[in-house]
Chain A
Amino acid sequence: NFMLTQPHSVSESPGKTVIISCTGSNGSIASKFVQWYQQRPGSAPTAVVYQDNQRPSGVPDRFSGSIDSSSNSASLTISALKTEDEADYYCQSHDSNNWVFGGGTKLTVL
């Protein structure tokens, strides 16, 4: 089955840029769309990127997504970090019969 692997945690300072990776295995990540969700403590997830690099309405352009076929990975880039960006981030993809989430990355902004 297709799987997505994320780093357990990342940390960066306010105002800086952070990149969270999501590596696919048992299949090509480029052949499926990748989404990214933000989950703050005690809240349901919300999408911040869909279809690899599209932002839902209301998500600031500090959030961007990309795909690297050569490394079979997707990335979520958050620029000009704010303390409010501190959360768990999950990548997600699907084919016709299975949806899959990455294990999640805890972003600490300190």
Chain B
Amino acid sequence: EVQLVQSGAEVKKPGESLKISCRVSGYFFTNYWIGWMRQMPGKGLEWMGIIYPGDSDIKYDPSFQGQVTISADKSINTAYLQLNSLRASDTAIYYCARFWQHLDHFDYWGQGTRVTVSS
């Protein structure tokens, strides 16, 4: 069974950093892209970036380039999203999702990680 399990909810102060994890199981981690999406309170989905763990090829949405870092550790089948210099506007739910390239869609999603940034 394919599963993507994300790390738990976080409460951070402005200026702090945060690394969210997405641990996958049930398939070959290196064979599928993993994307990261943001959903701000009451708003829609925003694509942030995507990584191919097989060769660490990474693509970022220009709006998030330089603001976040996406990485992966093949040894533990885990992808990461690092958020630096957090601001209140980073308060959101962050989702990881597997992208099935052959069929062009995000077919499995993590449960989401709620991040609250507040002083």
Contact = CB atoms under 8 A, between A and B. Distances in A.
Interface of A: 1, 33, 35, 37, 39, 44-47, 50-51, 54, 56, 88, 90, 92, 94, 97-104
Contacts of A44: 95, 97, 109-112
Specify which of A1, A35, A45, A54 lies most central, judged by the most chain B CB atoms within 10 Å of its CB: A45
A99 B35 contact: yes
Nearest to A105: B44
13 contacts: A35-B106, A39-B45, A45-B45, A45-B109, A46-B109, A50-B103, A56-B107, A92-B47, A92-B105, A99-B35, A99-B47, A101-B44, A101-B45
Contacts, number: 59
B59 A98 contact: yes
Give the dominant DSSP class at A's interface. strand
B47 A90 contact: no
A46 B109 CA distance: 8
Contacts of B111: 44
A89 B15 CA distance: 34
Interface in B61-79: 61-62
Give the dominant DSSP class at B's interface. strand
Which 5 residue pairs of A and B lie closest in terms of their CB atoms, listed nearest first? A50-B105, A104-B44, A44-B109, A99-B47, A35-B105
Contact of A100 (B47, B59, B95, B106): B47
B105 A101 contact: no
Interface of B: 35, 37, 44-47, 50, 59, 61-62, 95, 97, 103-107, 109-112
Contacts of A98: 47, 59, 61
A40 B106 CA distance: 16
Contacts of B37: 101
B62 A50 contact: no
Given A56-B107, A102-B44, 17 more contacts: A1-B62, A35-B105, A37-B106, A44-B95, A44-B110, A44-B111, A45-B109, A50-B104, A88-B44, A98-B59, A99-B50, A99-B61, A100-B47, A101-B45, A101-B46, A103-B44, A104-B45
